[in-house]
């Protein structure tokens, strides 16, 4: 949990939307920010959490109790 405190509220918000299956352009439109800003937040979060992809970020948030299975847009 200590590690997760490094993330900003906006980074967590964007990761949650990614987990729900939103694409970056839709996230940008929904939040009133640019596509580049969305990518920047995701890249910074990956760096802070030492993750190589968004799936790993999702697991970090899940382990911290910030998201549960309903957030994960998993297709089998």
Residue ranges covered by each domain of the chain:
3-71
CATH number of 3-71: 1.10.10.10
Report CA-CA distances (Å) from 69 to 1, 47, 74: 18, 24, 9
**What pLDDT digit, counting tens, does each position of 1-38 carry?**
557 789 999 999 999 999 889 999 999 999 999 999 99
Task: Select the more confidently predicted residue: 44 or 74.
Answer: 44
- How many CA atoms does the CB half-sphere of 37 hold within 13 Å? 12
**What pLDDT digit, counting tens, does each position of 32-47 carry?**
999 999 999 999 999 9
Q: How much is the pTM?
A: 0.83
Average pLDDT in the chain: 88
Residue pair 42/28 in contact (Cβ under 8 Å)? The answer is no
Residue pair 55/28 in contact (Cβ under 8 Å)? The answer is no
Residue pair 72/10 in contact (Cβ under 8 Å)? The answer is no
The whole-number pLDDT of residue 4 equals 79
């Amino acid at each position: 949990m200590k590690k997760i405190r490094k993330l900003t509220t906006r980074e967590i918000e964007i990761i949650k939307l990614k987990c729900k299956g939103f694409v970056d352009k839709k996230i940008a439109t929904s939040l009133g920010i640019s596509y580049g800003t969305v990518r920047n937040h995701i890249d910074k979060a990956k760096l802070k959490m030492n993750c190589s992809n968004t799936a790993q970020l999702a697991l970090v948030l899940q382990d911290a109790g910030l998201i549960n299975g309903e957030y994960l847009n998993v297709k089998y």
